[in-house]
């Protein structure tokens, strides 16, 4: 039987062709750029570039001659950039840098070099920085011009996230009105209403003669008026020395604050900024804005601990209880996201291992523990003190708890010291101060994760029975049907995982007791399925929440 062998010299073809190009052997095309001529081979250009392949196949007179010449003057690129692009076509390793990156993008777009275009886009993504504002805005322009969708989205997301910081640069002040509006019209812009007002005023003040007349229109279209007072607006105008003409100022106020304008916006809340996911993982807390900016460390907790719980109340994050070594802790810490620092709060009255926690009506409720008398503790932040509340009907531990419809606390699953996983669910009515049973789960769950979204409760993972393995099953309670229904399982089984709602989607992180998980998942309501993002690393027992920060706070958080 005869085998088929590959020609051993074929691997040297590219190297030989590069030598041919350098010595001009068998070259049959010249690329002219400025005063320089670059010699190449039509067959190589046609093999790599779909544009040249189509050109050589056409009946154009200038390409039918024996030795072809193409003038690249219309591209307005430098000879050095053409040289680098040809090296790339002939298989050489090239260096992409800030001096040639935009010219290489122009050439890649012209020659339809998809791979080079992707390499250039990846390089530009890596270069995005608030320290290079000109590069950020220019990258967005060229990405839109040359149809680099991924680059455009990445750049746009970065600028939206860091817009407040970028608005303090000369590159921002040079934006055209159309470019400014393209940012302002997006609710993804990480700014609150006052910051938007300041940004528009600052931009207009940079060129009063040409921009002052745009000021009123921009403010009317892109600011939700009812969130600002006339006094705040006047102060901003004074700061940037805008509208010195009292007639113009009075006219603006009459239009901006007239009753019909304010009345039409009563249903629209003022934008508070951008949602940020905060993850508290023992001694490695992190902040993250999916699709905008990557994971970034925040100020560590004052002491490391495990099995703690996290809850949001009045824009503060409370880290409650947990264990330090073999000791169950009563300690409560408050994290101030706007200032990125920690402060102690009153300790719990009783240690409560494996408890549930939720916030309702300006109070924090911690439930769980085998002692029925002490299985509900309530924290009042105004008095900074804890007191005992109405105990649950079941002495459950390792359960999860959520706030539902701004009226109820819902305790879900868990187990009792003498039982396996619980199917039972009960809710606490803050008005009547009573616990009542709700429909049971389809699957009994211990150490599951739960979150409420609109009029539904999502319960994810955990384990069932007296021991693991972890579950990937999920179910949803719908108040309109008063039933639990199983939904698509997560891609990875998880227990004791962190869960939160971000931009209307359920996110779940961590939840593997043996090792950290380098991914998170979110539930897509449109496809009724879970999507996995390979980002971050989270251990079992990490906790998370979603906060809304102003543009200034986000920039300060990520610049530390």
Q: Which CATH superfamily is domain 9-127 in?
A: Potassium Channel Kv1.1; Chain A (3.30.710.10)
CATH 3.30.710.10 positions along the chain are: 9-127
Angle between helices 149-161 and 133-145 (to 10 degrees): 150
Per-residue pLDDT reduced to its tens digit, 193-239: 889 989 998 998 888 788 877 887 888 888 876 667 777 777 887 88
> Do residues 29 and 42 touch, judged by C-beta distance below 8 A?
yes
**Pairing of the two strands 323-324 and 341-345:** unpaired
**What pLDDT is stored for residue 190 in this prediction?**
87
CB atoms within 10 A of CB 421: 23
**What pLDDT is stored for residue 257 in this prediction?**
56
Which of 157-166, 437-446, 481-490 is predicted with the least confidence, judged by mean pLDDT? Answer: 157-166
Phi and psi angles of residue 250, each rounded to the nearest 5 degrees, phi first:
-60, -40
**Pairing of the two strands 36-40 and 68-71:** unpaired
Per-residue pLDDT reduced to its tens digit, 10-24: 567 888 888 999 999
State yes or no: pLDDT of 312 exceeds 90: yes
Q: Return the exposure string of 371-383: e unless at least 16 CB atoms fall within 10 Å of the residue's CB, then b.
A: eeebbbbbbebee
**What pLDDT is stored for residue 63 in this prediction?**
55
**What pLDDT is stored for residue 64 in this prediction?**
59
State yes or no: pLDDT of 425 exceeds 90: yes
State yes or no: pLDDT of 556 exceeds 50: yes
Instruction: Describe the strand order of the beta sheet including 363-367 as a list of residue ranges.
Output: 356-360, 363-367, 376-380, 385-388
**What pLDDT is stored for residue 351 in this prediction?**
78
- Residue 419's pLDDT band, with cuts at 50, 70 and 90, is confident
Q: Which of 314, 313, 309, 355 is nearest to 332 (CA)?
A: 309
Kindly give, in sequence order, each residue whose CB lies less than 8 Å from that of residue 462, ignoring residues fewer than 6 positions away. Answer: 400, 413, 421, 445, 446, 447, 448, 449, 470, 471, 495, 496
> Do residues 400 and 424 touch, judged by C-beta distance below 8 A?
no
State yes or no: pLDDT of 289 exceeds 90: no
CATH 2.120.10.80 positions along the chain are: 274-298+363-559
CATH 2.120.10.80 at 274-298+363-559, yes or no = yes
> Do residues 288 and 294 touch, judged by C-beta distance below 8 A?
yes
Instruction: Describe the strand order of the beta sheet including 505-509 as a list of residue ranges.
Output: 498-502, 505-509, 520-524, 529-533
Q: Can you tell me the distance from the alpha carbon of 438 to that of 448, in angstroms, rounded to the nearest whole number?
A: 17
Per-residue pLDDT reduced to its tens digit, 262-284: 444 444 455 778 899 999 987 78
Task: Say what the pTM is.
Answer: 0.77
338 versus 47: the higher-pLDDT residue is 47
Q: Can you tell me the distance from the alpha carbon of 67 to that of 391, in angstroms, rounded to the nearest whole number?
A: 91
State yes or no: pLDDT of 49 exceeds 90: yes
pLDDT exceeding 90 applies to what percent of the chain?
A: 56
Stretch 468-496: mean pLDDT, rounded? 93
State yes or no: pLDDT of 531 exceeds 60: yes
Stretch 437-466: mean pLDDT, rounded? 93
Kindly give, in sequence order, each residue whose CB lies less than 8 Å from that of residue 457, ignoring residues fewer than 6 positions away. Answer: 402, 404, 410, 412, 450, 451, 476, 477
> Do residues 110 and 75 touch, judged by C-beta distance below 8 A?
yes
- Residue 506's pLDDT band, with cuts at 50, 70 and 90, is very high
> Do residues 260 and 238 touch, judged by C-beta distance below 8 A?
no
> Burial of 344 by CB count in 10 Å (0-12 exposed, 13-18 middle, 19+ buried)?
exposed
């Amino acid at each position: 039987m005869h085998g088929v062998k590959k020609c051993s010299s074929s691997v040297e073809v590219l190297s030989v062709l590069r030598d041919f190009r350098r010595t001009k052997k068998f070259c049959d095309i010249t690329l002219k750029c400025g005063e320089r001529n670059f010699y190449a081979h039509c067959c190589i250009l046609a093999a790599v570039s779909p544009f040249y392949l189509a050109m050589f196949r056409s009946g154009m007179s200038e390409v039918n001659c024996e030795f072809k010449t193409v003038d690249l003057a219309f591209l307005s690129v430098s000879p050095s950039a053409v040289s680098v692009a040809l090296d790339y076509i002939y298989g050489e390793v090239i260096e992409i840098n800030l001096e040639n990156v935009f010219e290489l993008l122009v050439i890649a777009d012209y020659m339809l070099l998809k791979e080079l275009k992707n390499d250039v886009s990846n390089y530009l993504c890596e270069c995005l920085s608030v320290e290079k504002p000109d590069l950020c805005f220019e990258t967005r322009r060229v990405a839109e011009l040359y149809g680099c969708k991924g680059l455009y989205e990445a750049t746009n997301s970065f600028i939206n996230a860091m817009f407040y910081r970028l608005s303090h640069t000369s590159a921002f002040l040079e934006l055209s009105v159309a470019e400014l509006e393209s940012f302002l019209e997006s609710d993804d812009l990480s700014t609150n209403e006052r910051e938007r007002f300041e940004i528009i005023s600052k931009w207009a003040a940079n060129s009063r003669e040409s921009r002052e007349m745009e000021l009123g229109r921009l403010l009317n279209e892109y600011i939700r008026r009812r969130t600002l007072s006339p006094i705040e607006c006047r102060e901003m105008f004074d700061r940037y020395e805008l509208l010195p003409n009292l007639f113009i100022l009075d006219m603006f106020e009459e239009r901006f604050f007239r009753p019909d304008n304010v009345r039409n916006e009563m249903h629209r809340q003022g934008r508070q900024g951008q949602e940020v996911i905060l993850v508290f993982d023992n001694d490695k807390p992190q902040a993250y804005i999916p699709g905008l900016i990557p994971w970034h460390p925040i100020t560590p907790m004052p002491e490391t601990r495990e099995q703690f719980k996290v809850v949001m109340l009045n824009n503060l994050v409370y880290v409650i209880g947990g264990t330090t070594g073999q000791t169950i802790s009563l300690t409560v810490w408050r994290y101030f996201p706007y200032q990125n620092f920690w402060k102690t709060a009153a300790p719990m009255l009783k240690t409560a291992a494996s408890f549930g926690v939720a916030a309702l009506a300006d109070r924090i409720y911690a439930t769980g523990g085998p002692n029925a008398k002490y299985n509900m503790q309530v924290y009042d932040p105004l008095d900074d003190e804890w007191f005992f509340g109405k105990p649950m009907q079941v002495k459950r531990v390792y359960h999860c708890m959520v706030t539902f419809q701004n009226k109820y606390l819902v305790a879900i699953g868990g187990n009792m010291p003498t039982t396996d996983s619980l199917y039972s669910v009960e809710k606490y009515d803050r008005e009547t101060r009573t616990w009542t049973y709700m429909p049971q789960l389809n699957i009994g769950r211990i150490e599951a994760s739960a979150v409420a979204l609109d009029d539904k409760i999502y319960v994810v993972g955990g384990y069932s029975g007296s021991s693991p393995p972890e579950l990937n099953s999920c179910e949803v309670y719908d108040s309109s049907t008063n039933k639990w229904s199983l939904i698509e399982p997560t891609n990875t089984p998880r227990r004791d995982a962190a869960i939160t709602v971000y931009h209307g989607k359920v996110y779940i992180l961590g939840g593997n007791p043996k090792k950290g998980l380098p991914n998170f998942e979110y539930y897509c309501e449109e496809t009724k399925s879970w999507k996995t993002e390979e980002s971050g690393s989270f251990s079992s027992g990490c906790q998370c929440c979603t906060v809304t920060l102003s543009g200034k706070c986000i920039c300060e958080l990520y610049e530390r």
